[in-house]
Structure 1
Amino acid sequence: MDELVEQTKALASDVRLSILGWLKEPGRHFPDQLSGDPEEVGVCVSLIAKKLGVSQPTTSRHLELLRRAGFVKVRRIAGWAFYARDEAELKAYQRRLHDTV
């Protein structure tokens, strides 16, 4: 139950919900990523920060909460962090929430 509560808290932010929404279709929302196909490698934190209109450290804090909740995975390439949704964990969360509520 504690995990479900912590995951739900991670979703209690319009910013984090926006990030998850964008990462659902990264090619549509981040077509200008030069360092690789966002569908394959994830999206660079700097592009997410730019789309949010906030600093990179602020964006990183939001992404870290989503990562700790299990909703996103991070991939590091040449010193850059790329984020993608963890679809399996998102589906598991939905099942746990449905079974509980």
Structure 2
Amino acid sequence: MDYDRIEKIVAALNNPVRRNILFWLKDRSNFPPALPEHSDLEGVCVGYIQEKAGLSQSTISSYMNLLKQAGLVISERHGQWTFFRRDEKSIQAFLGAIGKELS
């Protein structure tokens, strides 16, 4: 993992709400059940993330965009809904890279 990518991730994690979002996304049960028509989709609707965080739609959109640009989450659009899930492979790569850098 290159230095610029590490810096993007560190910047994205430099906010307690964004870190909470990543933690919440580890377990789908941290959110209300998906609507029946979305039950087969991975991830969590951005509206549920907004509701749990208690922040405005624009703030959550900005936060999710930062997390996505850093490679920490993956988004999928289904109709008018956007669903987010963690990018576990990218998170593990970051943890390995930062571990090497700090050891």
TM-score by length of 1: 0.91
**Corresponding pairs, count:** 99
Measured after TM superposition, the shift of residue 41 of structure 1 is: 2.0
Distance of 2:20 and 2:66 partners within structure 1: 14
For the residue of structure 2 that corresponds to 1:32, the secondary structure is coil
Unaligned runs of 5+ in 2: none
Distance of 1:89 and 1:45 partners within structure 2: 20
Unaligned runs of 5+ in 1: none
Identity of aligned residues (%): 36
Q: 1:82 — aligned with what?
A: 83
Which protein has greater RCO, CA pairs closer than 8 Å, 6+ apart?
2
Runs in 1 of length 4+ with deviation above 2 angstroms? Answer: 35-38
Distance of 1:76 and 1:60 partners within structure 2: 13
Q: 2:39 — aligned with what?
A: 37
Distance of 1:70 and 1:80 partners within structure 2: 20
Distance of 1:52 and 1:63 partners within structure 2: 12
Distance of 1:45 and 1:80 partners within structure 2: 8
Measured after TM superposition, the shift of residue 43 of structure 1 is: 0.5
For the residue of structure 2 that corresponds to 1:41, the secondary structure is coil
Measured after TM superposition, the shift of residue 5 of structure 1 is: 1.3
